[in-house]
Amino acid sequence: MATANKNLSDYDKASIPNASKFRFGIVVSEWNDNITEGLYKGAYDALIDNGVLPNNIVRWDVPGSFELIYGCKKMQEQMVNAVIAIGSVIQGETKHFDFVCEGVTQGIKDLNVTRETPVIFCVLTDNNMQQSIERSGGKHGNKGTEAAIAAIKMAELRENS
């Protein structure tokens, strides 16, 4: 397991670019909101911890993870330096899990290769609720924190390229 010996919330603050000049969009799926709210908190707190002003963080909610693609596309038009897509898809008894995961992954990839504003993939695709809990503020830390740090680094890359 990739997170077995890693806390997703750990980062070296000294190695993070100054984020005070950036504006971030966060698009959050309402499905599995007990998980996505934890991921949002991790992302929001990490952005604030790295100098982003609260009014430079724009949050939009969408119904589910599949809708993240459209929400992120529209968020890219809002003069943000990076977008974080937050969702949670948990394996069920049907192939729906596979279709949603594949669609969201490819959709966010497409936004990254066809548009200028980076979109960070913070969509948990877990086998069960316990795995999601452990990665959204539980024993493995918070994938939202990791996504915020990636967003800061990508905003800096975009600005300097």
- Active-site residues, by number, are 96
Question: Is 99 among the annotated ligand-binding positions?
Answer: no
Q: Is 52 annotated in some ligand binding site? A: no
Is 123 assigned a ligand-binding role in the annotation? no
Q: Is 80 annotated as a binding residue?
A: no
Kindly tell me the burial class for residue 124, based on how many C-beta atoms sit within 10 Å of its own C-beta (0-12, 13-18, 19 or more): buried
22 belongs to an annotated ligand binding site: no
Positive or negative, the CA dihedral 79, 45, 112, 133 is negative
* Backbone φ/ψ region at 101: left (φ over 0), alpha (ψ -120 to 50), beta: alpha
Dist CA 40 CA 47 (whole Å): 11
90 is in an annotated binding site: yes
Query: Is 93 annotated among the ligand-binding residues?
Result: yes
Q: Is 66 annotated as a binding residue?
A: yes
Residue numbers belonging to the annotated binding site for 5-amino-6-(D-ribitylamino)uracil: 31, 65-67, 88-90, 121
Annotated binding-site residues read 31, 65-67, 88-90, 93-94, 121, 135
Binding site members for (2S)-2-hydroxy-3-oxobutyl phosphate: 93-94, 135
